[in-house]
Structure 1
Amino acid sequence: MSRKAKEAFKTGLAMTLAYWIALSAGWEKPMWAGFAVGLVSLGTIGQSFDKASLRMLGTLMAAVVSFALLGCFPQERWLFMLSLSLWVGYCTYRMGGSRYPYFWQVSAFVTAIVSLEAGFNASNAFRVATLRIQETGLGILVYSLVALFVWPVNAGPKMRATARELTETQAQLLRALVDAIRGGHAEPARTLRTSVYQQQTTLCALLDAAETDSIEVHERRTLWRAFRRNIEALTEAMERCGVAIFGQEKLDAEPLMPSLASFEEEITKRLAATVDLLGGQSPGFVPTTVHLPRPPGKSTAVSHFQRAALTAATGELVEIERLTRELYETVATIRDLMEAQPVPRPPQPSGFVYDPERFLAVARVMLMQWMAYLLFIYVNDLPGGVGFVILVTSLGITASNMPQVSMLNLLVPGLVSTTVAGVVYVFVMPRLSSFVGLGGLLFTMTFMICYLFASPKQALGRTLGLILFVTIASISNEQSYDFLTVANTGLMLPLVFGLITVASYVPVYLRADRMVLRLLRRFFASSEHAVVALANLAEEPGTARGRHKRAFHTHELASLPSKIDAWKPSIDVQMLPGNTAQGLQPLVDSVAGLSRAIKTLVERAQAGHPQAIVDALGEEVGAWQLELRQVLESLAEDPTLGRSDVAQQKLVEITARLEARIESALVGGEASPLSAEEEERFYLLLAAYRSVSHALASYVTRAAAIDWTPWHEERFA
């Protein structure tokens, strides 16, 4: 039996058992136990347990909030609805930045279920909340036991396999970077970085699950988390190394860095030994320190910009050496081959930073909820009644936090599921006379839905199918049948999805191509702010507004590349180069590269400029900053500007002018001699400026390859 069939079998069995227990106990609404089974069933025990615990805790939180709302506003329906919508909005906001977004999602929609179904009756609210809690707990318990005893799948082995694959990919990325430093092409390194990020995302999810279902991983969870942080830091160091050498691929650094070959050999062996340790082997490897010499001196026949690139790359290679050593030692400690060392505490998250996307999600979900509530009050015989408001709230939370996914894509699967469930409800269920037949029906329908929608990309369709089947079936001990149940559900779905679609036009139009343009404008506006602020980075803003403004633009630079990438699959492929979804990838990569380059520039500028360089080169550096600011300002107004020839020509002119000025200042004796530390700081800063300029020219080149005309056309979509 395939893995897909086994998981569908387990979910069907758990659904049948949950209904049997709930009906045997005489509980009302056993469908809530069915909801719990369908929504917590995932691929591994750990993932299912984690989601189940979050669902249970979210339900408990929702019960408390529901009691508070009904106790404070027993007769004030407008104040009650205002408070409920504010709570749902708060939960939606917390979903965007929490490690446990599902907890906040459950807290929001279960609060709506309990408080709205209670009908402003406190005693009824207590009954509904208690029933919801006990049936949710029943569904979680039943599925947990089934997952434990029927074809159990632990996340630990898969997590270790992913860790091995990720470490192997890191070794390949290192070899690609070293090849680029030697004068090779940088394209292989860019391709491998995409694989690294995908594997890191998978590792994070599996590690959280493995901490739950694996005793060994749980006992060493601090070390495994340190491993994850080391891997992420190693990826970041390799990214910075790639930024440093970007545009200098033709420079043969082998004669200038004689230790490069031994460095590559040692780090490759170190990563290979780490892979062996993760695979359960004992390689007997002992890391040795590799000393990378300082970059070439003034007498070496390289330009100052080339020397700056090598200085920055050398610094990142030294950091890579340290991180790979720590990575090997961490895995060796996990294997009990080395004595445990104190693990540094992870950095704490910063305070509040304004995120427009999270507040946009709050505005949308509150708008949907109020539209549904007003329709419920003022439209007689609204299909679904209070269930309409509840369904809009539940799907609205998902739609607001996943704006890239069109909810209209679920309308057809929803109507098909309603039709199938309606046929079963009208023509099959009335013929059943015992739980033997009903249990077989429950198992068959659940198995079919889970089997047909087994792919992770079909998770929303699978969830909607299970919810609609369980809702329409309305199984209870005193079973009754009414065709209006099916008809109301069929009429309610277009209204729900239509309302959600209308809300996607307010307060901003969520068309994918327009969203990408909007995000690009914000990115370049924040980039311009960072360049303008270079002059006084060493000074802390004197007001709270100034500090929040700096934190906001820093957050924008770091987060917007991933937000742009998230919208990429939703863009019409006919608008992209090559008519493929990957046609926008080079542009997204250039935005991410510019983000990293500006971050590096800001960090190095904060260290300060050597005073001798400020006196000698201040005018040229100021002109460079002004040129960057003007380009970024124009891109903030229109990110579709693509004149690669002009950008490259300006870059060549600035580079040549500054190269000559540096030569006269440092070699000609116009500036006072620099100490070794000041010289290194200067070249690191020079490399950062060069990286920003090259990354900006790369974006302009990528933008010139796209036909932006359809992006600006008005159309209904």
Structure 2
Amino acid sequence: MNISALYERAKLPIKVALALSISMITAIWLGWDRPYWAGLAVTVMSMVETSGHSLRKGKWRLVGTFYGTASAFFLLAFFAQDVGIMMVLFTLLVGICGYMIFNPRYGYIWSITITVCSLILVMGDMNPISDFNLATLRLEETLLGFICHIVVFSILWPQSSRPVFENAVLDLLKQQQTNLVNRRHQLIKRDQHTVTRTVLGEGLKLVMRLQDLLYGAEADSYHILRERKSWQYIIEVGDQWAVAIGHLTEAIDLLKDANLDMEKPQIDAIFRYLLHNFQQCEAMVKTGKSPSKRQISCFQYMKLGFHPETDMHTQGALLLLERQLNSMAKLSDELVLAFYSAYSGECWSRDEQSLPKPIKRWSLDTERLIASFKGMLVVACLVLIWYYYNPPGGSLMIALGAIFGLTFISLPFANMKKMLSYIVGWSVFVLLEYIFIIPLLNQPYQIALFYFFSTFFIWFSFSAAKDLVSRVIGTMILVISTKSVMCLTPVYAPALAISILMAFTICLLLIIFFNEFPFSAQPERVMLRRLKMLKNVLAWQLRYTVATTQERRRWWVPIVGLLYNIRPITLVMGADNAAKAIPWKKFPEVSEEQAQVIIHRLYLLVLRINSLKDGYAKWRLNTKDDLAQSMVKDSVLRIATALEHTDGYQNLLVLEQEMLSVYNDVHRRIHLIDRQVEIEGDISLEEALNLHRALASLGLLVNELKVLSEAMAEFDFKALEIQYFTI
């Protein structure tokens, strides 16, 4: 490894070690007890990738400290005389925080809330006066660690969150340009092999990552904060663009056998306009400057034309393609204006028709509920051990169980055996330091140097991104196990360090047990649960889409909806992440390639269903054709039934045959309307096109389900249900 690589690798360890040692030695200099709290604040803030995320975590840490203090004071004020009730309420608080800790924006607040509440209750010995002093001290030292981290990370090699955010925006723009080029080749050059299925899922994942990066960029970039509405609107456009791509894919699939020689010039012109808009947005991000407003063009509606020799099926699909391409051109205009506003500071009027505000419904994530339940089980067992046996360090075990139980359980697919090896390894390392090095230290500057070099060694030796958990655990064990050295009157007590490590090990064994057995957190089990939940969610949302207003107002609908209103793409991404973490060598009966094929088909299935819901909602809003509405509703309900039952896919073939006759009728009506022939039902062209879109979505959805069922039939899901008991 060359010198420049070592230099880059040493930057973060130097910053973390310097901030940690300065914060703790400053706390000692100020005469504050328990200075290791300041060191823990620095450690946690150093886990994130940019300074903006660090600032945000520092702010959330202060807020969480306040909430945790308030929670501890509430429990002590009303239940100090009845420890049993207080521990029951504390366990419920662990469950609530365990669920909310997964919130992408505010989850860290809840993590700190339960951490501070646990430490105040345990270390204050359930005494209100002691707890008030501890809460004040905790707030002071958290603020000290926050300030030391900001100062060091701002002076030494600062890293802004804005470039990271803008690079993610560039990735999304480039990915969408690739997507458009593929669709253009598919239509104009009739190249079916250029369409990659993975692009659809990657685009949705990039949009969701942008939201998290935006929160961090707001913290240290005034430019991003000032134009937050514009950037938020850009993310919303990206989300809506995924639905538009789904509609475009439907129209292209309907035209895969059609002769489009006469329409190619107009289609090519629209695609070139879309690519020009994305390139214009990309140029603004790269240069950081907005063009003159005169250079921003506005798209004029472009018709693909009507040709008498074109058959009814092709003509209907062409009309859908015309509407969709023009709608996407209008959406791309909104995107350009949003980028222009973000870089020029000028306001613009939002087009509510191009991008209506999404309807948000409350929902619960079952995986988050499972993690919350496991955290409550860990704490409940530790409370029972403390209440009935009262072992040495029993109350400390409760705090450690609450803190590290939620931390480890919330980690995605955490390998608990590896966690145990980390703890054993770092415990041995710290104990050796405690025995052979710490007795030689008798000056404050020596203690500061000890923590500096120890922290630097931990962060430099395990500098890879995959080793984040290892270096954080090592730093926490270093700070907590040697806390007696940082008292105002230093105490050399190896027995105390050993008791802390033993309590920590007992907590981890309980965490491993509950993490493996009730609803195992192994990635293969998570993937199976996500797939099963996805099937039920899609069936519920299809039924809700075609339900009448009276049916939606039934008393039980909001309650059931809490479980099934979750975004399907979130479940597919969860299954995708789990599939990538599965050790496939342990399951020779199945292959990773088969699983990825199913995941890619699920991304397409979600896009099909989103397109169906969007198309059906637009048609249902204006239609007066009760017969057609009843027919479409019956078809959607049959698809939902097929999803709910494992053997329901065999009924899709009959449904597809029924759909063919409906297609013919709709195409005939559109064909006559376009020729200005009066037909029965007094249906408008707009209504007919919306009906055509809904029916096209239905047909393509049925076909997608058939392909998906064939892929699933070749995959042995039962092989993944075998669980090996190994610790």
Q: TM-score, normalized by length of structure 1?
A: 0.89
Amino acid at match of 2:391: D
> C-alpha offsets along residues 209-257 of structure 1, whole Å, 9 cap, x if unaligned?
2222122222222222223323333344224423554576455545446
> C-alpha offsets along residues 390-438 of structure 1, whole Å, 9 cap, x if unaligned?
1111122124434632333311111111111111111111112323332
Which of 33, 37, 53 aligns to 1:32? It is 37
Amino acid at match of 2:38: A
1:359-438 matched pairs, under 5 angstroms: 359-382=369-392, 384-402=393-411, 404-438=413-447
Moved more, 306-315 or 33-42: 306-315
2:16 paired with 1:7? no
Q: Distance in 1 between matches of 2:204 and 2:545?
A: 30
- Are residues 244 and 129 of structure 1, via their aligned partners in 2, closer, same or farther at CA, if it must alter by over 3 Å? farther
Instruction: Report the equivalent of 1:150.
Output: 156
- Are residues 457 and 202 of structure 1, via their aligned partners in 2, closer, same or farther at CA, if it must alter by over 3 Å? farther
Instruction: Report the equivalent of 1:601.
Output: 612
Instruction: Report the equivalent of 2:276.
Output: 269
Instruction: Report the equivalent of 2:98.
Output: 92
In 1, are the aligned partners of 2:378 and 2:402 still within 8 Å (CA)? yes
- Are residues 206 and 582 of structure 1, via their aligned partners in 2, closer, same or farther at CA, if it must alter by over 3 Å? farther
> C-alpha offsets along residues 253-284 of structure 1, whole Å, 9 cap, x if unaligned?
45446411111111212211221122225666
Instruction: Report the equivalent of 1:293.
Output: 303
> C-alpha offsets along residues 446-495 of structure 1, whole Å, 9 cap, x if unaligned?
11222233344333222211110111122324222233234334433442
In 1, are the aligned partners of 2:413 and 2:578 still within 8 Å (CA)? yes
In 1, are the aligned partners of 2:42 and 2:145 still within 8 Å (CA)? yes
Deviation at 1:580, TM superposition (A): 6.3
Amino acid at match of 1:696: L
Q: Distance in 2 between matches of 1:647 and 1:296?
A: 37
Q: Distance in 2 between matches of 1:181 and 1:429?
A: 72
Q: Distance in 1 between matches of 2:274 and 2:588?
A: 38
- Are residues 521 and 16 of structure 1, via their aligned partners in 2, closer, same or farther at CA, if it must alter by over 3 Å? closer
Amino acid at match of 2:181: R
In 1, are the aligned partners of 2:41 and 2:145 still within 8 Å (CA)? yes
1:706-717 matched pairs, under 5 angstroms: 706-713=715-722, 715-716=724-725
2:529 paired with 1:522? no
Tell me the percent identity: 20
Which of 206, 209, 213 aligns to 2:216? It is 209
Instruction: Report the equivalent of 1:323.
Output: 331
Q: Distance in 2 between matches of 1:532 and 1:197?
A: 24
> C-alpha offsets along residues 594-637 of structure 1, whole Å, 9 cap, x if unaligned?
22322332333334569797647966x577456534532333x7
> C-alpha offsets along residues 501-541 of structure 1, whole Å, 9 cap, x if unaligned?
22235653444333333332332233334445565446552
Amino acid at match of 1:30: P
Amino acid at match of 2:140: Q
In 1, are the aligned partners of 2:234 and 2:338 still within 8 Å (CA)? yes
Partner-residue secondary structure (3-state), 2:197? helix
In 2, are the aligned partners of 1:11 and 1:38 still within 8 Å (CA)? yes
In 1, are the aligned partners of 2:612 and 2:697 still within 8 Å (CA)? yes
- Are residues 224 and 532 of structure 1, via their aligned partners in 2, closer, same or farther at CA, if it must alter by over 3 Å? closer
Q: Distance in 1 between matches of 2:13 and 2:210?
A: 24
Q: Distance in 1 between matches of 2:366 and 2:196?
A: 33
- Are residues 174 and 421 of structure 1, via their aligned partners in 2, closer, same or farther at CA, if it must alter by over 3 Å? same
1:495-534 matched pairs, under 5 angstroms: 495-504=506-515, 507-532=518-543
Q: Distance in 1 between matches of 2:439 and 2:351?
A: 64
In 1, are the aligned partners of 2:361 and 2:565 still within 8 Å (CA)? no
Moved more, 40-49 or 511-520: 511-520
Instruction: Report the equivalent of 1:219.
Output: 226
Deviation at 1:23, TM superposition (A): 1.4
- Are residues 218 and 523 of structure 1, via their aligned partners in 2, closer, same or farther at CA, if it must alter by over 3 Å? closer
Q: Distance in 2 between matches of 1:678 and 1:202?
A: 37
- Are residues 599 and 21 of structure 1, via their aligned partners in 2, closer, same or farther at CA, if it must alter by over 3 Å? same
Q: Distance in 1 between matches of 2:725 and 2:262?
A: 60
Partner-residue secondary structure (3-state), 2:25? helix
- Are residues 549 and 556 of structure 1, via their aligned partners in 2, closer, same or farther at CA, if it must alter by over 3 Å? farther
Moved more, 694-703 or 593-602: 593-602
Q: Distance in 2 between matches of 1:559 and 1:537?
A: 27
In 2, are the aligned partners of 1:58 and 1:106 still within 8 Å (CA)? yes
Q: Distance in 1 between matches of 2:351 and 2:31?
A: 53
Which of 189, 194, 200 aligns to 1:193? It is 200
Moved more, 273-282 or 101-110: 273-282
Which of 236, 260, 266 aligns to 2:267? It is 260
In 1, are the aligned partners of 2:277 and 2:336 still within 8 Å (CA)? yes
Q: Distance in 1 between matches of 2:73 and 2:721?
A: 50
Which of 156, 163, 180 aligns to 1:174? It is 180
Q: Distance in 2 between matches of 1:420 and 1:388?
A: 22
- Are residues 348 and 17 of structure 1, via their aligned partners in 2, closer, same or farther at CA, if it must alter by over 3 Å? farther
Instruction: Report the equivalent of 1:335.
Output: 343
1:42-81 matched pairs, under 5 angstroms: 42-81=48-87
- Are residues 511 and 177 of structure 1, via their aligned partners in 2, closer, same or farther at CA, if it must alter by over 3 Å? same
Moved more, 657-666 or 58-67: 657-666
2:699 paired with 1:690? yes
Q: Distance in 2 between matches of 1:650 and 1:187?
A: 32
In 2, are the aligned partners of 1:70 and 1:122 still within 8 Å (CA)? yes
- Are residues 504 and 335 of structure 1, via their aligned partners in 2, closer, same or farther at CA, if it must alter by over 3 Å? closer
Which of 446, 454, 472 aligns to 2:481? It is 472
Which of 457, 461, 466 aligns to 2:470? It is 461
Q: Distance in 2 between matches of 1:534 and 1:66?
A: 45
Q: TM-score, normalized by length of structure 2?
A: 0.88
Partner-residue secondary structure (3-state), 1:555? coil
Deviation at 1:102, TM superposition (A): 0.3
- Are residues 704 and 577 of structure 1, via their aligned partners in 2, closer, same or farther at CA, if it must alter by over 3 Å? farther
> C-alpha offsets along residues 62-91 of structure 1, whole Å, 9 cap, x if unaligned?
111111111111121111111212222222
Deviation at 1:96, TM superposition (A): 3.4
Which of 328, 344, 352 aligns to 2:362? It is 352
1:649-668 matched pairs, under 5 angstroms: 653-654=657-658, 656-659=660-663
Partner-residue secondary structure (3-state), 1:279? helix
Q: Distance in 1 between matches of 2:147 and 2:251?
A: 53
Instruction: Report the equivalent of 2:28.
Output: 23
Amino acid at match of 1:11: V
Amino acid at match of 1:204: Q
In 2, are the aligned partners of 1:14 and 1:37 still within 8 Å (CA)? yes
Deviation at 1:6, TM superposition (A): 0.8
> C-alpha offsets along residues 302-356 of structure 1, whole Å, 9 cap, x if unaligned?
63xx5555444444322321222122122223332x8422458994873533433
Q: Distance in 2 between matches of 1:617 and 1:112?
A: 57
In 2, are the aligned partners of 1:166 and 1:196 still within 8 Å (CA)? yes
Amino acid at match of 1:29: R
In 2, are the aligned partners of 1:647 and 1:697 still within 8 Å (CA)? no
In 1, are the aligned partners of 2:482 and 2:497 still within 8 Å (CA)? no
Q: Distance in 2 between matches of 1:348 and 1:414?
A: 46
Amino acid at match of 1:58: G
Q: Distance in 1 between matches of 2:40 and 2:623?
A: 67
Deviation at 1:588, TM superposition (A): 1.7
In 2, are the aligned partners of 1:295 and 1:314 still within 8 Å (CA)? no
Structure 1: 5+ residue runs without aligned partners?
none
Deviation at 1:288, TM superposition (A): 4.1
Q: Distance in 2 between matches of 1:93 and 1:658?
A: 47
Instruction: Report the equivalent of 2:675.
Output: none
Partner-residue secondary structure (3-state), 1:335? helix
Instruction: Report the equivalent of 2:459.
Output: 450
